[in-house]
Structure 1
Amino acid sequence: MTTEQMNIDRKLSEFPRARLMTEVTQVERLDRLSDRLGIDLWLKRDDLTGLSFGGNKTRQLEFYFGEAVQQRADTVLITGAVQSNFVRTAAAAAARLGMKSVLQLEERVPGMGEQYYRSGNVLLAKVLGAEHMHFPVGEDEVGADNALHERAAQLIANGHRPYVIHLGIDHPPLGALGYVQGGAELGAQISDFDAAVVPSGSGSTHGGFLTGLRLSGVHAPVYGICVRRDQDQQYARMEKVLGRLAALMDFDPAIVMNGINVWDGVLAPGYGQVGQGTRDALTLMARTEGIFLDPVYSAKTFSGLLGLLDEGVISKGQKVVMLHTGGLPALFGYQEVIESI
């Protein structure tokens, strides 16, 4: 372990943490796609984090649940889209730690069929025994958080000790700490790559990953593929996330601010909606490497990687790492979309 990695571990040890990861996730070379695309392509397999079908949210939830355990919470409340991997994984983490979970599902994706509301992550959360709430708006983070606090107040009145995992950007980005660890982990596994590609939504995964790499001394560009907001909106969000993360961990934000790269070339037709490029990326990965991607994050990320390659931002012959964020249960919620491919 390098001095930089020891320093990261020491800094992260200052925050309470509930261990939910099974082990370090592997980095795998995709031989057939490397040959086909003319790059040296590697996949960081955070679809294999272990808890409840895996996915990137496990890393983030270790720090939220660490604080919840420290506060002796008995119920965790969280908000997200109907097919949110975050809320499903939170329900699984709560079950493992002996807590109840309250999941608020937001209407973020218009025009979806019956399977979207019954299968995938929704089904798994019901198996996990989660309580469900409904929030009719998809782009009101403050309102969604306020609704959670209203339910939390009811729980307190009934003698419970709730803990709210906030969606809004004005709260400390505890989840990003998980990807500071994730970025440092990748830097210890493979540090000679030319570019990394990650999804960029809430900013926690993207921001933490960039920070972990930079604090580890890895300076390759990290490209965040916009999955929810356009490039200008996402850039501004990343500045806020990284500023708050720097304050939380007490490091100079200049270390990361000049490393913000976001690209929205495959965002259309919008969050949680599957355009042709996303369809093509999902099937290309499956039919070339036998690896599944989810339609909301990881397929869009791979589609973005292909777009950056087409534009020459990523060059032929470069060594590229893509972060696979998991989310595979959502495939079943998108059955009608998948069947149309």
Structure 2
Amino acid sequence: MNLAQFARRRYTPGVTAIEPMPHLSRSLGGATLYIKRDDQLGLTAGGNKTRKLEFLVADALAQGADTLITVGAVQSNHCRLTLAAAVREGLKCRLVLEQRVPGSYDPAASGNNFLFDLLGVEAVTVIEAGTDLQAAMEAVAADLAAQGRKGYIIPGGGSNALGALGYVACAEEILQQSFEMGVAFDRIVVASGSAGTHAGIVAGIIGNSAGIPVTGVNVRRPRPEQEGNVHKLACAVADLAGVVPEVPRDAIVCLDDWVGPGYSIPTPEMVEAVRLFASHEGVLLDPVYTGKAAAGLIGLVRSGAIGADETVLFIHTGGAPALYAYQGILSGAASA
């Protein structure tokens, strides 16, 4: 692979840390756990979408866009970071927010909704669950075009082949850090949502012949549907990056045991995971993605599905600002 052939903006001045989690490992009494701190990536409050936006925004600038357009849920970390990238580049940004839970949008809410306003979003369009997201963004682009402006559409989560290159690059970063640390990882665990992070990691691991299995923990969709989505995107990004061999279907694992009632809807396992990571390692997770992924990690360790002899890397994809919109659910008094 030669990722240098792709135009890229840089929003993080270096690599993100890989840290041991000795207290959580000891508490769970199983595998040796490490965490990749992609919550510390550049742009406002960090998170995994920053890696994808480095490639997507470079393409937007090359095309002469003056406005970034994207879509996400009402507390979308991706929308926050796309808006932050627009601010960094002197562009405008318009957001399309999908109410995946009916009635969930509140412009006065805390968390990312507050940051949309603080960062100066140009306009927010709220749509109902099930709306054609691409058509909604194209309508925004058409409105801009009628004003003589040029919008650049970024898919939800930045999850197309170009955006997923960010996590092909992350896989290479992890392998280099693993070598320098003298730590061989037996497994990588990551949240699996819009598929770009999961797909990019898998493609990068396979492209480097690293042989490390990647376990995705679903945050929204049933396992068969999500595995199909991730495999399709992993094949697309692998083709774009020139990965050989092709991504086999059995390299994609997307467990759906911790989704709960639905996307962004809290579960007792998520609440426990958020509180354990905070109280044992001082790490803030988010309630929608990393909280449920960490619940999966904890469940797999406790059940023995992840062996006690394994060394596991958990990828922290960010999203802590959303915690403040869930304070009533996550506080000690609420969870007692």
Asked if the contact 1:243/1:253 (under 8 Å) is kept, the reply is no
Residue of structure 2 aligned with 1:336, choices 312, 324, 328:
328
State how far apart, in whole Å, the 1-side matches of 2:110 and 2:235 are.
38
Count of aligned positions: 328
What secondary structure, in the 3-state scheme, does the structure 2 residue paired with 1:258 have?
A: helix
What secondary structure, in the 3-state scheme, does the structure 2 residue paired with 1:122 have?
A: helix
Q: Which segment drifts farther, 32-41 or 178-187?
A: 32-41
When residues 270 and 47 of structure 1 are mapped into structure 2, their CA distance, relative to the original with a 3 A threshold, is: same
State how far apart, in whole Å, the 1-side matches of 2:191 and 2:94 are.
26
Aligned to 2:126: 135
State how far apart, in whole Å, the 1-side matches of 2:197 and 2:329 are.
26
What secondary structure, in the 3-state scheme, does the structure 2 residue paired with 1:13 have?
A: helix
Aligned to 1:176: 164
When residues 138 and 117 of structure 1 are mapped into structure 2, their CA distance, relative to the original with a 3 A threshold, is: farther
Q: Residues 204-253 of structure 1: CA distance to partner in whole angstroms, max 9, x if unpaired?
A: 00010111122223212110000010111111111211122123223346
Question: Residue type of the partner of 1:45?
Answer: R
- Using the TM superposition, give the Cα deviation of residue 54 of structure 1 relative to its aligned residue in structure 2, in angstroms: 0.7
Aligned to 2:297: 305
Gaps of 5+ in 2: none
When residues 176 and 332 of structure 1 are mapped into structure 2, their CA distance, relative to the original with a 3 A threshold, is: same
What secondary structure, in the 3-state scheme, does the structure 1 residue paired with 2:13 have?
A: coil
Asked if the contact 1:183/1:209 (under 8 Å) is kept, the reply is yes
Asked if the contact 2:203/2:235 (under 8 Å) is kept, the reply is no
Question: Residue type of the partner of 2:314?
Answer: M
Aligned to 2:150: 161
User: How big is the alpha-carbon RMSD for the aligned residues of Structure 1 and Structure 2?
Assistant: 1.9
- Using the TM superposition, give the Cα deviation of residue 168 of structure 1 relative to its aligned residue in structure 2, in angstroms: 9.7
Question: Residue type of the partner of 1:156?
Answer: A
- Using the TM superposition, give the Cα deviation of residue 156 of structure 1 relative to its aligned residue in structure 2, in angstroms: 1.1
Q: Which segment drifts farther, 245-254 or 255-264?
A: 245-254
Residue of structure 1 aligned with 2:201, choices 205, 209, 214:
209
Q: 1:327 aligned to 2:319?
A: yes
- Using the TM superposition, give the Cα deviation of residue 22 of structure 1 relative to its aligned residue in structure 2, in angstroms: 2.6
- Using the TM superposition, give the Cα deviation of residue 321 of structure 1 relative to its aligned residue in structure 2, in angstroms: 0.4
Q: Which segment drifts farther, 53-62 or 239-248?
A: 239-248
Q: 1:147 aligned to 2:136?
A: yes
Question: Residue type of the partner of 1:28?
Answer: E
What secondary structure, in the 3-state scheme, does the structure 2 residue paired with 1:28 have?
A: strand
Q: 1:119 aligned to 2:110?
A: yes
Question: Residue type of the partner of 1:134?
Answer: T
- Using the TM superposition, give the Cα deviation of residue 124 of structure 1 relative to its aligned residue in structure 2, in angstroms: 0.9
State how far apart, in whole Å, the 1-side matches of 2:281 and 2:103 are.
31
- Using the TM superposition, give the Cα deviation of residue 139 of structure 1 relative to its aligned residue in structure 2, in angstroms: 3.7
- Using the TM superposition, give the Cα deviation of residue 269 of structure 1 relative to its aligned residue in structure 2, in angstroms: 1.6
Residue of structure 1 aligned with 2:284, choices 280, 289, 292:
292
TM-score by length of 1: 0.91
- Using the TM superposition, give the Cα deviation of residue 23 of structure 1 relative to its aligned residue in structure 2, in angstroms: 1.7
State how far apart, in whole Å, the 1-side matches of 2:139 and 2:189 are.
38
Q: 1:188 aligned to 2:180?
A: no
What secondary structure, in the 3-state scheme, does the structure 1 residue paired with 2:123 have?
A: strand
Asked if the contact 1:242/1:253 (under 8 Å) is kept, the reply is no
What secondary structure, in the 3-state scheme, does the structure 1 residue paired with 2:320 have?
A: coil
What secondary structure, in the 3-state scheme, does the structure 2 residue paired with 1:321 have?
A: strand
TM-score by length of 2: 0.92
State how far apart, in whole Å, the 2-side matches of 1:158 and 1:13 are.
36
State how far apart, in whole Å, the 1-side matches of 2:43 and 2:167 are.
16
